[in-house]
Structure 1
Amino acid sequence: MCGDATIHHALGDKIAAEIASYQKVTESPFGPDDEIGMLNLLDDVASDELLRRVVGVPYDLSVDYFIGMPSWQAFGDPAFQIWMTHTPKGNVVDDVIGVGEAQNSLVGYSSDSISMYTHTGTHVDALNHFGYNHRIWNNFSQDEHLGSRYWTKGGADKHPPIISRGVLIDVAAFEGVDVLPPSHIITASLLERTLAHQGVDLRPGDIPMIRTGRMRLWPDSESYIVDEPGIDRDGAVFLAKKGAAMIGADNAAIEVRPSSNPDNFHDVHSYLLAEAGIPLLEIADLEALSADQVFEFAFIGAALKIRGATGSPIRPLALRLG
């Protein structure tokens, strides 16, 4: 308890979870214009010191994007698609560029387009993704800040590049299994015991990454997406009050599915985003970190600057510390 008290004293009232009210959006302790929540806890000096300790090659925590990949389609959102917009032979046949057969035969031009739900693959959830009663983090309202195309507040484009200490919480390994059972609840107690077993603590500004082992089922959509193990609200509160800047996991929803709260289908999402001001990182590949027992690392990642987006692909890297 002494450590928690010291953290709270050092940060004053900057950890939003300490001032949050149940199922109500929190007004940011960083001021009325804040759109990034606990990412404000990132520390440039601490990041510089962290990078000085980096050794070895990075671990890539992202997954590939491909047709047929597991994606969240339960609510009608589109699957990932990719298609060619130009092919070398097609250019010769169509001459859409208008340069003639000789140039089209000489220059082999290929290009493509993609279509996808912004919460596909390894991605972040921005603070405008979930809220309460038509309001999102920091009391931004639908009436004032939601246009025809996107929210003008709290989007993924507002996220800074992230360099911070990452902490692997390898719950599956602690429980002695390759993959946690379907709908297995990761409680605050289980998180705490896992961290103690690993000999690692959490500090304000950290990026905790929870391993359920679910990536062992990738890319089987039927096994990976359905009835996921994950944290419940109490587990989320534990991480939030430790001062997490962002929370990641190797499953698709961070939280246990179905929801452990019969009155809220995304109990943890709405708590972390709207009450605690903590962005999420989902579908991270944590298998190599687990195999090498890398519990502490330098986390580096940046969302795409898609204006107003509720989510964005991210390619996070983990670098071992010496």
Structure 2
Amino acid sequence: MKAIPLSLALCALLASPLAMGARPGAATSPWGPDDQIGRLNLMTDASRAAVLSRIRGGTVYDLGVEYHKGMPSWSLLGDPTYQIWMTHTPRGTAVDNVLGLGRAMHEHVSYSGDAVLMYTHTGTHIDALSHFGLNGRIWNGFHHDSHQGDLGWHKGGAENLPPIIARGVLIDVPAYKGVDMLPDSYRIMPADLEGALSRQGVRLQAGDAVFIRTGRMRVIDDKQRYMDNPPGIGLDAARWLVETHGAMLIGSDNLSLESFPVETPDNWVPVHTYLEAEQGVAIMEVVDLEALARDRVHEFAFIGAGLKLRGASGAPMRPIALPLDPAP
């Protein structure tokens, strides 16, 4: 696919009927009729090289959470919680002797194996652009009837998401507000983001991976506390990040990105549909931002890749952050 300059791509998005106030619907991509990754197209060889050249070394920040039974997960609609079970154990292998090698061999060579079951939006993960749509269509107009089957999405699935190397920016809203964690259902507005960025001395750039800290990660071991009425961004903040500053990816430390209850009576996930269906912005959730906040690392190289799950609407991810030297 022919590359489109960043400025032209952003102009095309902002000039769409969607940005001009038309009835919300899935947008047509400026990157062509086959595009399935939206604003992740803003990554280029030059943008990746630029951020990698500024890595200063030192601490590597692991932004992923542990997967374990009982962890918080979106199961309100019947999706499976994280489960793990042993498929081979040292004692069981010796007793069953499936390979016919005898007890002595199996007692000498112990064998353990296991399997997991989970919803693809469990733990630290990235949404594919098929996750939420509007009026029967997802990003770039792909329709449920034509592009989704029993084996998953034929367009917009998680296998299309590229490895991400980008400038990452942490916006620490609780630190700006002088609290450890934002209150239940707190709706982050543009003024909060502007204030936090000003306090941090950081400016956003087009193509950034932006991560919003709410502080909810502090209570992730308390499943109900973590899940109930989360704080998060509202539509105005989402628009400010995308239409004013050109964010490529937006993530948070909660399991929803947006605040609940939501602000729109006619849409139960307005930020998700705005970002994914209308703007082609990838979303990440359950991102551990606590160490970055503790060390006041607000600008970093973000590196991460989701599992290539064909047809899936999302994929687990274990991203890292590496601090950057100041821009020349």
Q: Secondary structure at the match of 1:163?
A: strand
CA contact (8 A) 1:207 1:244 kept: yes
Shift of residue 48, structure 1, vs aligned partner: 1.2
Matches for 1:140-219 after TM superposition, within 5 Å: 140-219=142-221
2-structure distance, mates of 1:300, 1:22 = 35
Q: Secondary structure at the match of 2:152?
A: coil
Instruction: Confirm whether residue 47 of structure 1 aligns to residue 48 of structure 2.
Output: yes
Shift of residue 49, structure 1, vs aligned partner: 2.2
Shift of residue 17, structure 1, vs aligned partner: 4.9
Shift of residue 124, structure 1, vs aligned partner: 0.5
Shift of residue 67, structure 1, vs aligned partner: 0.5
Matches for 1:1-322 after TM superposition, within 5 Å: 10-13=7-10, 16-19=13-16, 20=18, 21-55=22-56, 56-241=58-243, 242-322=245-325
Question: How many residues of Structure 1 are paired with residues of Structure 2 in the alignment?
Answer: 315
CA contact (8 A) 2:10 2:246 kept: no
Match of 1:32, as an amino acid? P
Match of 2:30, as an amino acid? P
| TM-score (structure 2 length as normaliser) | 0.93
Query: What's the counterpart of residue 5 of structure 1?
Result: none
Match of 1:144, as an amino acid? S
Moved more, 295-304 or 16-25: 16-25
Cα separation, partners in 2 of 1:22 and 1:175, compared to 1, 3 Å = farther
Q: Secondary structure at the match of 1:210?
A: strand
CA contact (8 A) 2:217 2:253 kept: yes
| Unmatched tracts of structure 2, length 5 or more | none
- CA-based RMSD: 1.5
2-structure distance, mates of 1:148, 1:111 = 29
2-structure distance, mates of 1:10, 1:17 = 11
CA contact (8 A) 1:171 1:190 kept: yes
Moved more, 80-89 or 93-102: 93-102
| TM-score (structure 1 length as normaliser) | 0.94
Shift of residue 43, structure 1, vs aligned partner: 2.3
| Unmatched tracts of structure 1, length 5 or more | 1-7
Shift of residue 16, structure 1, vs aligned partner: 2.9
